[in-house]
A and B are shown apart, each in its own frame.
Chain A
């Protein structure tokens, strides 16, 4: 047995099977074991939260030490802000509940997070103008429901003609309800197949190539 590859596959199989058995059986030993597995899973995911930061230190640390690009000082700033936030969070002993932490979060992280994601609104406008064109039957269908749903979503139109609102509701009930149900069933089959292949060791991508 190759301890570098086979033992991890066995771990995946055993843990996965216990999770599935917890659902289909009522054995108390399985329930108790799975409770510990779940709790370990939470802690392990918490450990994994630091992986991103560790990678940032590797990548940006190298950029700072090389100083090959003119933007190395941005890397220094990034790591500085990372350290500041960690020091404030851990130093107070109250983590995210401390007032200092909340202050930095609300002044810097919240506006940046909210704006970064929402700025896509501008790209939606450009995309709608440049791309959404009824060139053929396929794009016409997409175009038609897009327009009808936007009209139904825009309060001024239903306020003037309630039919826009009911059309939008009908599209969601009859059209979206049917097609997405088919897609859901397809996703469900795919996910279960991939899941079973992973548990029995036929899908090993997560182990990496090295």
Chain B
């Protein structure tokens, strides 16, 4: 049975409006697009205010006055829009960049670099012949793909060892094909959620 809930009807309208762009740009889509951007920005403000209250103001209320500094820094962010005082914005953004970079590189070295190199340097011979073949392919794929990104020594891309980065490019292309296959599944899986909504929640035919 078709839903009688106005919220479902509104949601169905916006689902169809947002889909319509795939066929052709139109005024209904533009209306949906602007609604989306407005609400998304509104949601960001609401969540921002809540976070400021819960993780900043709450500390000040507990007597931790050092947190007043971050409120000053937060206001300084909005000098981004001033031509004259743009430099004020650099102070808080410098804090955010320093924090973000420090937090990610300290662990990134271990996760991306050490762990992957250690795994590649582990024994190739495995319990079964298939696993051994897989290990060889993983080793070859890793080393050759990495060699493709060596730009400081031009010689690696030419002459007798030029095949190494070439094999790396082939391995990467094979992997990108797999990525494409999975991307197809992602997008169809996502849109299926909307089809299910329209047929089940709105029209009630499923």
A interface vs B, CB < 8 Å?
3-5, 7-9, 11-20, 22-24, 36-56, 58, 71, 74-75, 77-86, 89-90, 95-96, 101, 103-124, 128, 132, 137-139, 141-150, 152-153, 170-189, 191-192, 195-196, 198-199, 206-208, 210
Contacts and interface: CB of A to CB of B under 8 A. Distances in A.
A99 to B, nearest CB: 11
B48 A144 contact: no
A90 B184 CA distance: 40
17 contacts: A4-B90, A38-B99, A39-B67, A40-B99, A51-B77, A53-B45, A82-B38, A110-B11, A118-B193, A141-B173, A141-B177, A150-B185, A153-B182, A171-B174, A175-B175, A182-B171, A184-B112
Contacts of B51: 42-43, 45-46, 49
A209 B145 CA distance: 36
B142 A181 contact: yes
Contacts of A181: 116, 119-120, 138, 141-142, 145
Contact of B113 (A24, A74, A113, A189): A189
Contacts, number: 409
Nearest to B190: A118
Interface string B46-57: 111111100110
Residue in B38, B40, B66, B140 whose Cβ sees the most chain A Cβ within 10 Å: B38
Interface of B: 6-8, 10-12, 14-15, 18-19, 21-22, 30-52, 55-56, 59, 66-67, 69-71, 73-75, 77-78, 80-81, 83, 86-87, 89-109, 111-113, 116-117, 119-120, 133-134, 137-146, 148-149, 168-185, 187-188, 190-191, 193-194, 197
Residue in B22, B30, B174, B185 whose Cβ sees the most chain A Cβ within 10 Å: B174
Residue in B35, B99, B172 whose Cβ sees the most chain A Cβ within 10 Å: B99
Given A85-B42, A145-B177, A113 B36 contact: yes
A141 B16 CA distance: 37
B93 A179 contact: no
Contacts of B8: 107
Contacts of A198: 97, 101
